[in-house]
Chains A and B, each alone.
Chain A
Amino acid sequence: MAEAHPVGFQWVMEAKRRGATIIHVDPRFTRTSAVADLHVPFRAGADIAFLGGLISYVLENELDFREYVQAYTNAADLVGEEFTDTEDAAGIFSGYNPETGRYDPVSWSLEGEGYSAPAAGQRDHWESQLREHHAAMSSDTAGGAGDAAHATGAPERDESLRHPRCVYQVLRRHYARYTPEAVSQVCGMSVDQFLTVARSITANSGRERTTAWVYSVGWTHHSVGAQYIRGAAILQTLLGNMGRPGGGILALRGHASIQGSTDIPTLYDLLPGYIPMPNAHLHEDLQSFLDADAAKTGFWGNMDTYLVSLLKAWWGDAATAENDYAFHYLPKLTGDHGTYGIVRDQIDRKTYGYFVVGENPAIGHANGKMQRLGLANLEWLVVRDMQMIETATFWKDGPEIETGELRTEDIGTEVFFLPCANHTEKAGTFTNTQRLLQWRREAVHPPGDARSELHFYFHLGKRIREKLAASTDERDRPLLDLTWDYPTFGMHSEPDPESVLAEINGYDADGKPLSSYTQLKADGSTTAGCWIYTGVYADGVNQADRRRPGSEQDWVAADWGWAWPANRRTLYNRASADPEGRPWSERKAYVWWDEENERWTGHDVPDFEATKPPSFKPEEGATRQDALAGTDAFIMQADGKAWLYAPAGLADGPMPTHYEPVESPVANLLHEQQDNPALERIDRAWNRINPSQSEVFPYVFLTYRLTEHHTAGGMSRTLPYLSELQPEFFCEISPALAAERGLEHMGWATLVSARTAIEARVMVTERMKPLRIGDREVHQIGLPYHWGSNGISTGDPANDLLGVVMDPNVHIQESKVATCDIQPGRRPRGPELLEYVADYRRRAGVEPGGIE
């Protein structure tokens, strides 16, 4: 965190100053480790073994926050008899189809409950199964973040948590083999280190204390990445650390508005506010989409109001009750359109145009060769950036030009490079990891022809609409009917960003800004460009622009910026009070039920219906939030409960299970199944994978950022003041590995995988430690991934070494762990490089690779 998020890390240092214990669990000793109370080194890719060990420690010692667990989780629910766990099936859950490599989740259901719909993300995989099993009722749901599952009946429960099939006991059995000794063997940390962490987090949880977990892409960039987060969710829920001050699982996002870019998404499978993108084949009209996707109970039961308001915001008067509020104007999914799926389609010439904005995939994405091959097979490419990045120049100086795999004269891609404004040169919001929107103003005008994204897309849209103005083709209606009328100012006709924020906020029937998403209606009388942001422009005031200093308000600081939803700073904060509505402790009081005034009140905006008393019991057959009891704190869930066991929502199992990374030097010591049986592969010549436990590729490598550089380097390798601080690409290795391979500090090393070979300076450091895994010593190599051929500070791209295998839930690549070889000296040049790598593939028994 200190490395990649130094500004956010100031608050960790502040917490430390106030007495918090900081534990850093990371394969490397980083700047974060340097100031942590405890650094626990371990093997990259072994996180579920570690988290599972902690879960097991909590359950075996009954250290869970029992009252919290009983009141707010599904611990007491009974799992159906059809379910078989990994314990009983060689590391695979019931429902697995080895031919398709996918799970049918039906057998994971809770007893007495109908089918629970899964979360967003993999519906394209499950369509056929879903059609088969539940054609009439459900396909997928809303909520990349929540699980807007809808159940058809209440599951059976055993409040004593003793029933062998209750979630609590199923969980306990699932993790029973994750003992401290097993964790030590798999992760390479000592039993003492593990127990120190386990004792520390359990001693720091409960009524009086809370523990927070903070993670970043070190957890998500894995073939089991979504399950890593689930592991933390289970642990935090068991310990009662959700919805309470000082608790939570904090995803470090925000270079600089990654949270914002999923709220108002750049993701292919989401509409604004985590409404799933409809499927072309399953959701032919609004009602079938809502029937399939909207939960019946909980706040996702109001998805109709969110979606219709969105359609009204986008298509205004053209969206009417008669035409399904223009639902048919929405683009629809036809399959996996994730970034790697798109690049595969580019190579196969199924996709021919590409906008690359604020991204440098030729350097920043896994398997650089695959990326550049995709770029080379396009008809047109638009790159908007501040610098001439490698993605814009791959056709003349990419690594494949040097090896002769591609020739400039054969590449037909027409590249449009457009200079863009940077963050100080345009106004708008950043949304940080706390869901906090902060408005920023334009400090200086962008230079020359550089323009903001808002300017670019607005005027591009205007020009396209002008070109289509006379069209009578039905397919052009969605473009022509858009509400595309933002006021502009200045000599370059810059659209007013506040007018966009106001549209996102939404209006009532009289054209007045709305103040809450609960005001949204499904009858077309309200608009909202993103329902969770409704309220950010309440009273016609830019609430994100509030800057009352923290020193002038209380510790929750509700008057700084604006947090979605409803300016809540902590989600699910009903759980900060006990079932009767009293704070769990004075020390951790946050929101509570005010008996006298019959309202929820507290330091934060309560995340609960303001006047629903703790004693409230829903009527039979109630829907939406009315179906939630006064103790159902997790209001976005259909059952109002935090899920320790996820009967649906994940493509690779209801409980996290340790699988080895696809490229691992060791066998899975916990289960027979080596790697995630449901992971996604792209089996092509340009994406060869190193065999597991290969002596040819014996070392683990991991990629990461340095403080001094920014992602793929376009904003840092081009600047002297930053380049001089980390001037060259280097690899970090232990003295033991240096001795084993004859590598010298500051000398050169060549790193090889089945994809390619790259060279880096060698940094020998005690901060990298060999680990003992089972009966062997495992070396890890650190590779910052910032470098490429352009700019002032240049070097080989670390991501070229990676192949692409993906998590089946979110289609994210496993780029935080893979294997390689390392040898002293510089890599071969030109065509010799191809021979060098081909030889490695032959020796490792890998099929021929390269460009097909």
Chain B
Amino acid sequence: MTNVFDAFSGTANSLYGELPDPAADAGFDPSHPKRVGFFTDTSVCIGCKACEVACKEWNLVPDDGTDASDLYRLTGMSYDNTGDLGASTWRHVAFIEDVRPHGSATTEHGGGTPPAEPTTGHIPSGLPALGGGALPKAPRDAATPPPGGGTVDLLTLLPDAGAHGQQTPDDERDVRWLMASDVCKHCTHAGCLDNCPTGALFRTEFGTVVVQDDICNGCGYCVPSCPYGVIDVRGSDGGAHKCTLCYDRLGSGLEPACAKACPTKSIQFGDLDELQAAADARLAELHDRGVNEARLYGRDENDGVGGDGAFFLLLDEPEVYGLPPDPIVTTRDLPEMWRNAALTAVGLGVAAVAAFWKGGRR
């Protein structure tokens, strides 16, 4: 298993950068199963929340009220009454309602560029500051004109082709309603795991990241370690909890409960390399149909977490969905920090010796 000292000793780039096989890196035999994950295609999500319910049913996750004082109250954030991923919410469907200038919508949830005045969209708290740093330049180009021909051939016959989206009677504005099921990203470089002092968090043979309830002592170090704000400590039992990618089901050859329940195949489970290929194909298909705002999120193996085991197809900037634009594993700078600390220690030691030496000479 990776630990900071291995990293410090310079054995591998285990804390940052490309890492083709995290399970092997964690010490599993080369014959371990292939890395698995989720590809969540939000362009076909219908917001039914079956994933949320199936997840809780299978994993015996308590209802949100267990930790909340205001049980069973509307949040006021569109149809999202879950709010956020957390210790008792391992799948969360975000609903983003907004209105945009007429004609800017295309046909996948009306997604388009750029986001304008989100009204009831949900931005989880506790995430890295938005807007700072470079936004991921996904395969899109804001300068590209909207698709002239529309995405459906027949509508090109029509007079206002290209303007079909969710048109509203006041012709200046279109309504857009994005839905997306969020989940633990099962990062290639998982800050939660690397910062867990008890070994409760571990890398499985499938390359996923799982908490062992009976080992976790609830220290909470993992909570700020997650660049996505996913893992949290549950008040009722004091332990840290998050998506296990249904580790128990994987062991029995079953797909995770959320993917099984998803009616539109928005949540796809499988070997990560196959999912990545499917996602690339889907992205190309959408771009061909003129949905230029479509982009993949968490797909890039050179991003700040080494790519995600659970990645997404989004129809707008990640911030619109409450996702950090440029997540970086919190352990990225650890080697350097240790190195600096060591150098400082060495430097101090040298200084001290020098001081004594000088003193001795006197």
Contact = CB atoms under 8 A, between A and B. Distances in A.
Interface of A: 2, 6-7, 9-10, 13, 16-17, 19, 21, 29, 31-41, 188-190, 192-193, 195-196, 199-200, 203-204, 706-708, 720-728, 730, 745-746, 761, 763, 765-767, 769-772, 792-793
Nearest to A708: B49
Contact of A761 (B50, B74, B157, B175): B74
A195 B161 CA distance: 12
A613 B71 CA distance: 68
B223 to A, nearest CB: 22
Q: Which of A31, A189, A722, A766 has the most CB of B within 10 A?
A: A766
Q: Which of B49, B109, B154, B176 has the most CB of A within 10 A?
A: B154
Contact of B169 (A10, A724, A769): A769
Q: Chain B, interface size: which category?
A: 35 or more
Nearest to A730: B74
Contact of B265 (A10, A41, A721, A728): A10
Interface stretch (B77-85, B140-148, B186-194, B340-348): B77-85
Interface of B: 44, 46-50, 52-53, 56-57, 63-65, 71-74, 76, 78-79, 81-82, 97-99, 107-110, 119-120, 151-155, 157-160, 164-171, 173, 175-179, 263-265
A40 to B, nearest CB: 8
B155 A37 contact: yes
Given A33-B177, A724-B71, A766 B119 contact: yes
A33 B155 CA distance: 17
A34 B169 contact: no
A41 to B, nearest CB: 6
B44 A728 contact: no
Contacts of A793: 72
Contacts of A34: 46-47, 109-110, 166, 176-179
What DSSP secondary structure best describes chain B's contact surface?
loop
B155 A21 contact: yes
Contacts of B158: 195-196, 199-200
B74 to A, nearest CB: 5
A13 B264 CA distance: 7
A29 B160 contact: no
A727 B81 contact: yes
A93 B153 CA distance: 42
Contact of A725 (B49, B97, B155): B49
A2 B46 contact: yes
Contact of A195 (B73, B82, B159, B167): B159
Nearest to B56: A721
Q: Which of A37, A41, A199, A765 has the most CB of B within 10 A?
A: A37
A32 B57 CA distance: 26
Q: Which of A7, A32, A39, A190 has the most CB of B within 10 A?
A: A39
A10 B53 contact: no
Contact of B177 (A37, A188, A746, A767): A767
A133 to B, nearest CB: 48
A10 B48 CA distance: 11
Contact of A10 (B49, B108, B263): B263
18 contacts: A9-B264, A10-B263, A13-B264, A29-B166, A34-B46, A34-B110, A37-B151, A38-B107, A38-B167, A188-B169, A190-B167, A724-B81, A725-B52, A725-B53, A725-B81, A728-B74, A767-B97, A767-B175
B205 to A, nearest CB: 29
B120 A196 contact: no
Nearest to B176: A34
Nearest to B110: A34
Which 5 residue pairs spanning A and B have beta carbons closest together? A720-B63, A727-B72, A34-B177, A6-B48, A2-B46
A4 B238 CA distance: 38
Contacts of B119: 765-766
